[in-house]
Amino acid sequence: MTNETFDAAAKEAALLAEADGWDTTSPVPAEPGDVPLVDVGPYFESGTDADLQQAATALRLASETVGFHQLVGHGVPSSAFEAILDASRRFHDQELGVKNTVRMDRPDWPVGGVGYLPVGERKLPRRDRGNENEAFLIKSVEDNQWLSEDVLPGFRSEVEGYLATIVGVAQRLLPVYATALDLQPDYFEPAFADPFWRLRLTHYPPADARAHDDAFGIAPHVDTTFFTLLLSDGPGLCIYSHQRNVWIEVPTVPEALIVNSGELLKQWSNDRFLSTRHFATNPSNGHRYSVPLFFNANADHEMVCLPSCHGPDNPPKYPAVSYRQSQAAVQGE
């Protein structure tokens, strides 16, 4: 194992410098297979080793070659997707003054990184120009911020209901990830006994409301996560294709969740699974909404290079690190 200490600030600085050099001007439509389909339905239904291996094989190929995939067979009903998107619309339809009562990182609130993030903020990801979106964020902590029930009735229960469902999906995927990485199916259970997650309800305003025509909805970045489960109500996500050496527009697949691995899984797997650069826009003339779940191991779990991902000819490239020590902390997450 490497004896180095993880430098979160240096890691974040390196990612920022790398992102500044990305040419994102000419994304192209995706071709068949550019964003693979991974169907976990048979495994979720049967629980058999054969179905687990089939799902893991598809996940392994997608994670080693693309870094993104479309997840189907997850069991989340369309009504749950519709409910959380409606909850997001209801929140973002509130007057700015109302939303600012739960403003993120206000001095009188004990927890940072939760609450309302207005249009033009230069964080998550941190960039020199503000991101053209607004968002409401909650984390796996007790002190989240919520609008009162008389202001936005039913909102908290709708969000917490979706959270219970989507975190459940994330937990059920862990044996698939373990098997895809040639580990025992239960390998990740201790690391995710108390997972750290963050849910973001994001609203991208229409083109005529943007401050800059060339601004990003969310600037080019890589996620800091183990993996991310994204629900989107329409096109707007662009990812970098390592195979084609171009930026591609991710197609919308009905009922699918878009899933990508992040920097922590990339490092934990010794670069076996990709952490793929991506950005978001709103290509439509209307409003666009997305709901990503950023999913991680227990905040203080030390991620030592996975035993199946290193050997005499492939030594660990990264020091052990926990989520709390990672560049996510530098970003204010």
Measured distance CA(76)–CA(108) in Å, rounded: 37
Helix spans in 30-154 (H): 41-46, 49-65, 78-92, 96-99
330 alpha carbon, distance to own chain's centre? 17
Within a domain: residue 3? no
Say if CB 263 and CB 223 are below 8 A apart. yes
Q: Encode pLDDT of 61-111 as tens digits.
A: 999 999 999 999 999 999 999 999 999 999 999 999 999 999 999 999 999
Q: What is the pLDDT of residue 283?
A: 86
Q: Where are the alpha helices (DSSP H) in 207-288?
A: 263-268
99-127 pLDDT, tens digit per residue, is 999 999 999 999 999 999 999 776 655 55
pTM of the model as a whole: 0.93
pLDDT at 8 over 90: no
pLDDT band at 23 (very low <50, low <70, confident <90, very high): confident
Residue 271: CATH number of its domain: 2.60.120.330
Is residue 2 in some structural domain? no
- Average pLDDT rounded to a whole number, residues 267-280: 96
SS3 assignment, position 268: helix
Domain tally for the chain? 1
Structure tokens that stand for 168 in this block: 């459940």
CB-based contact 107:150 (threshold 8 Å): no
Q: Can you give the residue range of the structural domain that contains 18?
A: 8-330
Percentage of the chain lying above the pLDDT 90 cut: 78
Predicted local confidence at residue 3, as pLDDT = 57
Encode pLDDT of 200-215 as tens digits.
Answer: 999 999 876 555 555 6
In a domain, 1, yes or no: no
